[in-house]
Chains A and B, each alone.
Chain A
């Protein structure tokens, strides 16, 4: 029952703020509404018991200090084992590929946006 209430609150927040985010004329307000939508999406991940996904989602979208209250449990061990291996249902190759992609992206971003 509590889960249902949380879900419907998060759903209303997501719907209202995503529509406000694309219709608001001021860009800073639109960015703030988008931030609310992202936080509520992380809440939906938490509701689905994907704690790691919620933490990654929040950290990557720059919401500082909220990640500390996300509970860390045995899900982390499962995620770590699945990311570090080459068996079936293990994802070392995409992990390394995305790390190279992020490195290239950082270098490219600095190179493009740098002042000459």
Chain B
């Protein structure tokens, strides 16, 4: 498989010119911790707004991974950066709609705790 050798060569080559001598795994560790903090918050919180914040954490970790992989593996191209750009836009739209829905639920049911909102269960 010629691509794998080429891939490894590219990684080795890019190690020479990685900015500031920071390894790729350091960025990945940071985004992994951020992602798992988001998963923990998503599963353990009861307030809808904090669940939304955890979702934001997870989206941020994924965006950071896109940008980092683009910069470290293919520094000549910029598809990962543009994907990150569009993902940030989509996450902004999603957050606005989710907050609108949460406001509406609060107006109708007077709470935003997920285990007490059971009117729309079925």
Contact = CB atoms under 8 A, between A and B. Distances in A.
A2 to B, nearest CB: 8
B85 A56 contact: yes
Given A60-B88, A101-B90, A105-B93, A19 B100 contact: no
B21 to A, nearest CB: 6
Q: Give the contact-size bracket for chain A.
A: 35 or more
A11 B30 contact: yes
Contact of A14 (B21, B30, B49, B79): B30
A105 to B, nearest CB: 4
Contacts of B97: 105, 108-109, 112
Contacts of A15: 30, 33-34
28 contacts: A2-B20, A3-B19, A3-B21, A11-B29, A11-B30, A15-B33, A18-B33, A22-B41, A22-B57, A31-B49, A34-B57, A45-B67, A48-B71, A50-B84, A52-B81, A53-B85, A56-B85, A60-B92, A78-B78, A89-B78, A94-B82, A98-B86, A98-B93, A101-B90, A101-B93, A109-B96, A112-B104, A113-B100
Interface of A: 1-4, 7, 10-11, 14-15, 18-19, 21-22, 27, 30-31, 34, 37-38, 41, 44-45, 47-50, 52-53, 56-57, 60, 78, 82-83, 89, 91, 94, 98, 101-102, 105-106, 108-110, 112-113
